[in-house]
Structure 1
Amino acid sequence: MPDGGGWHIVEDDLSGAPIRALLEQHFAGMLANSPAGSCHFLDFDGLRAGDVTFWSIHHGDDLSGCGALKMLDGRHGEVKSMRTHDAFLRQGVAALMLDHIIAEARGRGAERLSLETGSSSAFEPALALYRRYGFEDCEPFADYRPDPFSRFMTRSL
């Protein structure tokens, strides 16, 4: 899905070494900033589940980031595995991916989009992005439970 600026988003099968390395970095970052029992990222098998669609974003040939949409039911989606490659931080990668996920969720008939992320200061850039996109704090959803290391957010579509 080229956008004219050299960026393109593709559905990704997680088989390439660069995307696997980026996700390993994502997993390590989550575990470095929250206790293991409070980390709710999807592992490789989880990202391949039938209710999850995973995308990577590229600038030219360079992997720039990733994100996923998990459909919780026919009307409610969840943002998963948002990560920007370090070489592309503060270049709008996360916003492009979030725009894509929102459009995909709408296209699938979702009326609500929610997410879970960390609550420490390390997650503040992500929280600021989600707030700019109209996400608001909410109670735990789906199978989540209250957790001081988690922040739950939602918005209608």
Structure 2
Amino acid sequence: MFNISEVEKGDSDLTWLVSELDAFQSELYPTESNHCLDFSAVSDEQLRCVIVRDEGNAPAGCGALLFHEDGSAEIKRVYIRPEYRGRKLGQKIVSAIEGIASEKKSRLLQLETGIHQQPAITLYRRCGYEICDAFTPYKADPLSVFMRKELP
């Protein structure tokens, strides 16, 4: 059994998961194609974070939602630790993030992921996201895949 909960951006387990994600991505992409969000660079009002924990309360994965001034929001930092993959935790994270977006009346969700992360792309497609052009603040990057979804 897994549970998902919202946490503060400074949560120590979240920091640990994000560090693990950074290490994973640094092996896949050069620095200029690594679009990692530094949580300390955004206000608490701009960011909402979630963690999935296993039955022993160990952190299994995370995700975040960054709100933009235009009313859209961006999915950031979705990560599942390798030993927990294949258990539909990514869908739980995306669903929780979409719920937060709906609460805040954000109707457009966007994200950037990398071409070497095919399981992530598959996850987002299953969740209804479609490939789109680069959006602000990004520029087109041959190593990036940009996706979007309009919420009802």
Whether the 8 Å contact between 1:13 and 1:48 is mirrored in structure 2 is: no
Partner SS for 2:68: strand
Q: Is 1:27 aligned to 2:22, yes or no?
A: yes
Q: Taking every aligned residue pair, what percent have the same amino acid on both sides? A: 26
TM-score, structure 2 normalization: 0.90
Q: Distance in 2 between matches of 1:101 and 1:136?
A: 17
Q: CA deviation at 1:119?
A: 1.2
Q: What is the CA–CA distance in structure 2 between the aligned matches of 1:150 and 1:75, rounded to whole Å?
A: 23
> Unmatched 5+ residue regions in structure 2?
none
> Aligned residue for 1:84?
80
Moved over 3 A (4+): 46-50
> Could you say if the C-alpha distance between residues 46 and 137 of structure 1 is closer, same or farther in structure 2, counting changes exceeding 3 Å?
same
Q: Partners in 2 of 1:48 and 1:11 — Cα distance?
A: 14
Secondary structure of the residue aligned to 2:121 is helix
Instruction: Mark the CA change 1:109 to 1:74 in structure 2 (over 3 Å): closer, same or farther.
Output: farther
Gaps of 5+ in 1: none
Counterpart CA distance in 1 for 2:28 and 2:69 is 30
Structure 1: how far apart are the matches of 2:136 and 2:51? Answer: 25
Tell me which residue corresponds to 2:118: 124
Is residue 151 of structure 1 aligned with residue 145 of structure 2?
Answer: yes
One-letter amino acid of the counterpart of residue 94, structure 2: L
